[in-house]
A and B are shown apart, each in its own frame.
Chain A
Amino acid sequence: MKPFTYERARSPAEAAAAAARRPGAKFIAGGTNLLDLMKLQIEVPAHLIDVNGLALDKVEPTPEGGLRIGALVRNTDLAADERVRRDYAVLSRALLAGATGQLRNKATTAGNLLQRTRCPYFYDTAQPCNKRQPGSGCAAIGGFTRPLAVIGGSEACIATNPSDMAVAMRALDAVVETVRPDGTTRSIPIAEFHRLPGGTPHIETALEAGELITAVTLPPPAGGRQFYRKVRDRASYAFALVSVAAVVQRDGTGRVALGGVAHKPWRVEGAEAELRRGAKPAMAAILDGARPTPENAFKLALAERTLASVLAEARG
C-alpha cells in the first residue's frame, strides 16, 4: 500500500471540492473494494476522502412516488428495507445474492456501483492490463476468458462489471445523483452511467474527476413479478457467470437486464418486445452482436436458459 493522506469530508459539496483540489484523491466509503485494490497497488490514491460521515445514509420516498437511496446506505440495510422488498424486490434479491453478510454490512450503494472488475489478470500486476495500466495490453484476450465478457467488449478489454446491485438498478431505470467539485449537481440515468471499454477501459463510468455520488433514485414501482437469478459455480460467495434481473408483468411484457456478460449491466430495451414470444427470441435480440470466446460461449446458452427458467417461474 502506498502511503496516503486522509481527511473526513464534512459535506458532499466539500468532499467533491476537496477531491478536485488534491490530484490522485479518492473517496472511501465501505472500503471493501478500494482497500483490497490499494493493498495490491492497483489503486494508488495519494489522498483519501472519507465520506462515511456524510448524512447520505437514508432511504426516502420521492415526490414522484419512487425512492431516493442515499449513497452511503449499506447493502444490508437497502436489501432489508421494507419498501424495497415490497416494490423493488429485484433489487433486494440482487443485493442478497452478492458477496457475504459481513461485506454487505460494510458495502455502500455508491461503492457497489463503482466496484471494479474481477478479471483475474487485472489483479496480477506482473501482467499487462489496459484497465490497470492504460496502453500496456490485455493479458486476458487469448488467455483464461471463461468469466469474461461475451458482448460489448473491445480489442483493448473484455472484462465484466461484477456488480449484482447495478444489474437490478438497470432493470429498474435508476438514476445516479451526483455533486461536482463546483457544487453543481446532475442526474445520470443508469444506462449512461457505466461505459463500454472501447479504447479506454480504465474509464469505467460517466463520473468526472472529483464528482461524488450522493444518491440513487428509483422511479415509481414497476410492478409485476420481480426476479434475480444469479448463476455461479458455487452456491454462495461467488461472482455471477450470468445473472438475470427481470420484471415480468401479467401480460408477459417486461424488462430484462443481464450481469456477468459485459463491461456494464446489459440491457437492450428494444429487445424486450420479444419477451412475449419467449426466452429464445428475446435473448437472441438482447445478445445480438455477441462475440464470445470459445471458453465463454456457454454464457449465451446459459443466459437464454436462465431467462427461460425465470419466465417459466413468472408464468407458474
Chain B
Amino acid sequence: MKFDTPAGANPIDQLKVVGQPLDRIDGPLKTTGTAPYAYERHDVAPNQAYGHVVGAGIARGRVTAMDIAAARAAAGVIAIVTTLDTPRLAKAKRNAAPLFGGAEIQHYHQAIAVVVAESFEQARAAAQLIRVSYAREPGRFDLAAAAGSAPLVGGDSEEGSGAPPEDRRGDFEGAFGAAPVRLDQTYTTPDESHAMMEPHASIAAWEGDRLTVWTSSQMIAWGKADLATTLGLPPEKVRLVSPYIGGGFGGKLFLRADAVLAALGARAAGRPVKVALTRPLVANNTTHRPATIQRIRIGAGRDGRITAIAHESTSGNLKDGKPETAVQQSKLLYAGANRLTAMRLAELDLPEGNAMRAPGEAPGLMALEIAMDEMAEKLGLDPVRFRILNDTQVDPEHPERPFSHRQLVECLSRGAERFGWSGRNPKPGERRDGRWLVGMGMAAGFRNNLLTKSAARVRLDREGIVTVETDMTDIGTGSYTIIAQTAAEMMGLPIDKVRVRLGDSDFPVSAGSGGQWGANNSTAGVYAACVKLREAVAQRLGFNSADAAFAEGMVRAGNRSAPLGQAAGEAGLVAEDGIEYGDLAKRYQQSTFAGHFVEVAVDAATGETRVRRMLAVCAAGRILNPKSARSQVIGAMTMGVGAALMEDLVVDKRLGFFVNHDLAGYEVPVHADIPHQEVIFLDEVDPVSSPMKAKGVGELGLCGVGAAIANAVYNATGIRVRDYPITLDKLLDRLPEMA
C-alpha cells in the first residue's frame, strides 16, 4: 500500500481496540519467566554447547601469539576458534570495525577467540587459560585532545537523525555579532552504555550450509543481511529468530560478536552453540553512545526573539564510524533567521560509538536546552515563555515546509500549569527544605518521526482467529500488543482472537525497532495487510468490499452477514502487504514534541541530587495504547535521570578502554532514584504520518529530560554545570558554606 496523501477516515478511527489502555499480551509470559529469550532456547536445537568469547586486553596493536594448549586440554572443551586462525571476516555495512579475524586489534575487548565446551563454566574456565601475546601500538583515546583538529563530517545515525557537515542559513556570524543579548557556551556529554538487562546472546545451528541463529536483535533484516555478509553466505541461507528481547536501546540494532562467534563456534564444534556476551564485553566489545563536546551560540533581540543560533558538535569514533548527530534538533526546534550547524568527527581508537536511544537528540538536547535556560535568564524571561516566543510552525531552514502537526507550545503551557511552574522562584538557590535545596527546571523535548516501509502477513482461519506475522521486534516496548490491537480493530475482532508472531526473518520485513519508528510503521504495515485481507474476505463471501463492515467477529454488507471465519474456509485466507511512503515526509516536517518538568532537591552539604517529581507532556500523534506508551515514556524519563546525574562510561585515556565496565561501576538509576512520574499525552492525530495517524513516543520521553534536571539543579543551587553527568563533585565547591 502506498501512502502518499494524508489519511482520511478509516477503520482505525473507531478506536474500539486501538487507543485503549490494554495490558500487554506478552505480559504473563514475562512475569512468569516463560517468555523464551535467546540464551534460554534449549528447545530449538538439540545438543547445544556453550561458547565463551575472549576479548582483547589491549586497545590497539596486534595479537602476536595465542597459546591455547592448556585451554584445549581443559575439561569439557570441544573447540576453540581464534582470531589468528581465522582470516579477517568481511566488515558488514553497519559495523565500524570487523567483528572477528586477523591479528589486528582496533579496540579493547575486540573478540579474539571463542571457546566451546560442554558447559558454560567449562567454557569460561578454559577461556581463562588462553595466553595471549600482543604488540601494543599507541592509540588516540582522548576526545578533548583530538577535538581541536577534528574535521567536519556529516552523518546519519541510521536511526533518524542526520545532518550535513556544515549547514548555514542567512549570516550567522553577522547576526550573532549584532545581537544585543548573546550566549556562547560549551557543553559536554560522556560516553554512555545501553546497559540493557539482557546482554547480547545468540544460539547458532548449522544444517549443511544453512545457518539459523536465535538471537536478540532489534532489526531482523539488518542482522540477517549483515551476518550473511560477515560470513560470506548467500542471505537466503541465513535465518534469524528473535521473538523476545530483554531490552536493546539501540545496542541490538546491529550484528555483534555473539551471533558471529556462535556461528563460527557451531561450525567448529559440529554442534549448535550458544554465546552470551559478558557485561564487560557489552561495554567494550559492542557499541555505546559517543561522548560529545558541543558549542552553542544564541543571539537574541531584547524582545527575546532569537536572531542567530549555532550548534556545533564534536564526537569521536573509529575510522569507519559516524559522528553523533547532536545538532539535529537545533535545525528544527526554534525559529531564527540566521543559523549554523556543524559536526566534527575525531578519529579515536575506542570501541565503536553508535546509536543509543534517541541518538543525536538525546545528547543534543542535553546541551541545547541548558543553553536555552541560560539565554532566558540573560533575557530576564521565564524559560517557558522564552521557548514559546521562539516557536515555529515551519522548518526554519526551509520555511516553505510546514510541520505536519506541532504542539510544542501546548505541551509547554499545559505542563507549566499542571506542574505548578508559577510557584518556581526564578531566583536560584532560594528555596530550602531542611537540609535540601529545592529547585524546578524544564526543557522542551523533540524527536523526529520517521517513516520507513514495513510489511506483514495476516492469516484468517475457520475459527475466526487472525494471525499476524512480521519480522517486527518487541524489545519490551509493547509491539505485540499494538499490532494485535491494529489487527483486531481492522478485522472487527476482540483482541483475544488475534495471535501475533514476531521477530523471524521468514516473515515479511518490517520497520524493526529503532528510532522510535517501530510503533507507527509496523502497525501501518499490519493495517495494509489487513486492508488486503478484508478485501479477500469480502470477495470470498461475495460481498461488495466497499460496504463490508467488520464488527463483533461478523462481516456485514447491506442486510447480509456472515461470521468472519466462514470466509476462511478449510484452507484459511492469507494476505500480505506493506506500507510504503510517498513524499509526505519531504513535504511536511514530521516530529514529536514534549515539555519536560522536573523538581529536584540537592543536599546542601553533600551535593547529592535527588529528583522529586517529573512530568512529561507529549504530543506524538495518536497514542495506540496509552498504557504501553506511558511505560515507554516513564522508562525514557528514568534513562534521562541516569544521563543527567550518573551515567558515565569512563575512558582510561592511557590504556584506551571503558574502565567501569560492569553494572557495579556503571551506575544507572535504581528504584530509589525515581520519584513520582507523570505523563500526559495530548489528544492528537496526525493524518500525515500514516493510516494509523500515530507517531513514535519511545525516544521522545528521553529527549530533554537531562537538561530539565540540569536546569532544576541550577534553580536549586545557583550552580550551572555544563559537563554531564552532574555528580556531586561538580557542585561541592560552590555549595553554601557549612557552619
A interface list, Cβ under 8 A from B: 1-3, 39, 41, 118, 120-121, 123-127, 139, 142-144, 146, 229, 231-239, 241, 278-279, 298, 301-302, 304-306, 308-309, 312
Given A305-B605, A308-B738: A235 touches B610 (CB 8 Å cut-off): yes
Q: Are the CB atoms of A143 and B659 closer together than 8 Å?
A: yes
Q: Are the CB atoms of A308 and B605 closer together than 8 Å?
A: yes
Closest to A304 in B: B738
* Binding site secondary structure of chain B: loop
What 0/1 pattern do residues 633 to 659 of B give for CB contact below 8 A with A? 000000000000110001010110001
Q: Are the CB atoms of A120 and B660 closer together than 8 Å?
A: yes
From A41, A144, A308, give the contact of B652 (CB < 8 A). A144
Report the bound CA distance from A123 to B670 in whole Å. Answer: 23
Closest to B729 in A: A298
Write out the residue numbers on chain A whose beta carbons fall within 8 Å of the beta carbon of B124.
1, 39
What 0/1 pattern do residues 673 to 699 of B give for CB contact below 8 A with A? 100000000000000000000000000
Write out the residue numbers on chain B whose beta carbons fall within 8 Å of the beta carbon of A143.
652, 654-655, 659
Write out the residue numbers on chain B whose beta carbons fall within 8 Å of the beta carbon of A308.
605, 738-739
Closest to B608 in A: A231
Residues in B705-734 with C-beta less than 8 Å from chain A: 727-729, 732-733
Given A143-B654, A306-B605: A236 touches B738 (CB 8 Å cut-off): no
B130: min CB distance to chain A, Å: 12
Q: Are the CB atoms of B672 and A235 closer together than 8 Å?
A: yes
From A121, A144, A278, A309, residue with most partner B Cβ within 10 Å: A144
Given A235-B610, A302-B606: A120 touches B435 (CB 8 Å cut-off): no
Q: Are the CB atoms of B645 and A306 closer together than 8 Å?
A: no
Within 8 Å of chain A (Cβ to Cβ): is B562? Answer: no
Q: Are the CB atoms of A309 and B606 closer together than 8 Å?
A: yes
Write out the residue numbers on chain B whose beta carbons fall within 8 Å of the beta carbon of A237.
670, 672
Write out the residue numbers on chain B whose beta carbons fall within 8 Å of the beta carbon of A39.
124
Given A231-B608, A235-B670, A235-B673: A302 touches B732 (CB 8 Å cut-off): yes
A215: min CB distance to chain B, Å: 29
Closest to B665 in A: A120
Closest to A315 in B: B739
Given A1-B125, A120-B665: A305 touches B735 (CB 8 Å cut-off): yes
Write out the residue numbers on chain A whose beta carbons fall within 8 Å of the beta carbon of B58.
126
From A3, A235, A309, residue with most partner B Cβ within 10 Å: A235
> What are the 10 closest A-B residue pairs judged by CB atoms, nearest first?
A126-B57, A309-B605, A235-B672, A298-B729, A308-B738, A236-B672, A144-B659, A305-B605, A231-B606, A235-B673
Write out the residue numbers on chain B whose beta carbons fall within 8 Å of the beta carbon of A234.
645-646, 667, 669-670, 672-673
Write out the residue numbers on chain A whose beta carbons fall within 8 Å of the beta carbon of B603.
309
Write out the residue numbers on chain A whose beta carbons fall within 8 Å of the beta carbon of B650.
144, 146
A123: min CB distance to chain B, Å: 7
Write out the residue numbers on chain A whose beta carbons fall within 8 Å of the beta carbon of B646.
233-234
Q: Are the CB atoms of A139 and B655 closer together than 8 Å?
A: yes
Report the bound CA distance from A298 to B730 in whole Å. Answer: 9
A108: min CB distance to chain B, Å: 20
Within 8 Å of chain A (Cβ to Cβ): is B236? Answer: no
* Binding site secondary structure of chain A: loop
Residues in B555-598 with C-beta less than 8 Å from chain A: none
Q: Are the CB atoms of B669 and A124 closer together than 8 Å?
A: no
Within 8 Å of chain A (Cβ to Cβ): is B664? Answer: yes
B interface list, Cβ under 8 A from A: 57-58, 75, 121, 124-125, 128, 280, 435, 603, 605-608, 610, 645-646, 650, 652, 654-655, 659-662, 664-665, 667, 669-673, 727-729, 732-733, 735, 738-739
From B57, B125, B645, give the contact of A2 (CB < 8 A). B125
B149: min CB distance to chain A, Å: 25
Report the bound CA distance from A126 to B127 in whole Å. Answer: 13
B351: min CB distance to chain A, Å: 14
Write out the residue numbers on chain B whose beta carbons fall within 8 Å of the beta carbon of A231.
606, 608, 728
Q: Are the CB atoms of A306 and B57 closer together than 8 Å?
A: no
Write out the residue numbers on chain B whose beta carbons fall within 8 Å of the beta carbon of A306.
605-606
Write out the residue numbers on chain B whose beta carbons fall within 8 Å of the beta carbon of A127.
57, 655
Report the bound CA distance from A194 to B549 in whole Å. Answer: 79
Write out the residue numbers on chain A whose beta carbons fall within 8 Å of the beta carbon of B729.
146, 298, 302
Q: Are the CB atoms of B610 and A233 closer together than 8 Å?
A: no
B121: min CB distance to chain A, Å: 5
Write out the residue numbers on chain B whose beta carbons fall within 8 Å of the beta carbon of A238.
667
Q: Are the CB atoms of B728 and A118 closer together than 8 Å?
A: no
From B607, B727, B738, residue with most partner A Cβ within 10 Å: B738
Closest to B646 in A: A233
From B125, B655, B664, give the contact of A3 (CB < 8 A). B125
13 extra interface residue pairs, beta carbon distance < 8 Å, beyond A304-B738, A309-B603? A120-B660, A124-B661, A142-B654, A146-B650, A229-B606, A233-B646, A233-B727, A235-B670, A235-B672, A298-B728, A298-B729, A306-B606, A312-B738
Report the bound CA distance from A266 to B645 in whole Å. Answer: 28
From B128, B605, B727, residue with most partner A Cβ within 10 Å: B605
Report the bound CA distance from A261 to B404 in whole Å. Answer: 56
Write out the residue numbers on chain B whose beta carbons fall within 8 Å of the beta carbon of A239.
664
Q: Are the CB atoms of A302 and B728 closer together than 8 Å?
A: yes
Write out the residue numbers on chain B whose beta carbons fall within 8 Å of the beta carbon of A233.
645-646, 667, 727-728
Report the bound CA distance from A142 to B603 in whole Å. Answer: 31
B65: min CB distance to chain A, Å: 16
From A121, A123, A229, give the contact of B662 (CB < 8 A). A123
Q: Are the CB atoms of B660 and A241 closer together than 8 Å?
A: no
From A41, A241, A309, give the contact of B728 (CB < 8 A). A241
Q: Are the CB atoms of A124 and B280 closer together than 8 Å?
A: yes
B734: min CB distance to chain A, Å: 11
Write out the residue numbers on chain A whose beta carbons fall within 8 Å of the beta carbon of B659.
120-121, 124, 143-144
A-B contacts, 21 of them at CB < 8 A, read A2-B128, A39-B124, A41-B125, A120-B660, A121-B659, A124-B661, A125-B128, A143-B655, A144-B660, A146-B650, A229-B606, A232-B608, A235-B670, A237-B672, A302-B606, A302-B728, A302-B729, A305-B735, A306-B605, A308-B605, A309-B738
Given A231-B728, A235-B672: A312 touches B606 (CB 8 Å cut-off): no
Closest to A36 in B: B664
B73: min CB distance to chain A, Å: 13
Report the bound CA distance from A118 to B665 in whole Å. Answer: 8
Write out the residue numbers on chain B whose beta carbons fall within 8 Å of the beta carbon of A241.
728
Closest to B605 in A: A309
Write out the residue numbers on chain A whose beta carbons fall within 8 Å of the beta carbon of B75.
3
Closest to B731 in A: A298
Write out the residue numbers on chain B whose beta carbons fall within 8 Å of the beta carbon of A121.
659
Write out the residue numbers on chain B whose beta carbons fall within 8 Å of the beta carbon of A41.
125, 128
Closest to A237 in B: B670
Q: Are the CB atoms of B610 and A305 closer together than 8 Å?
A: no
Closest to B660 in A: A120
Report the bound CA distance from A209 to B140 in whole Å. Answer: 45
Write out the residue numbers on chain A whose beta carbons fall within 8 Å of the beta carbon of B280.
124
Q: Are the CB atoms of A305 and B645 closer together than 8 Å?
A: no
A286: min CB distance to chain B, Å: 16
Report the bound CA distance from A239 to B667 in whole Å. Answer: 10
Q: Are the CB atoms of B673 and A305 closer together than 8 Å?
A: no
Report the bound CA distance from A278 to B739 in whole Å. Answer: 8
From B645, B652, B654, B727, residue with most partner A Cβ within 10 Å: B652
Report the bound CA distance from A114 to B729 in whole Å. Answer: 29
Report the bound CA distance from A304 to B732 in whole Å. Answer: 11
Report the bound CA distance from A233 to B664 in whole Å. Answer: 12
Write out the residue numbers on chain B whose beta carbons fall within 8 Å of the beta carbon of A298.
728-729, 732-733
Q: Are the CB atoms of A279 and B654 closer together than 8 Å?
A: no
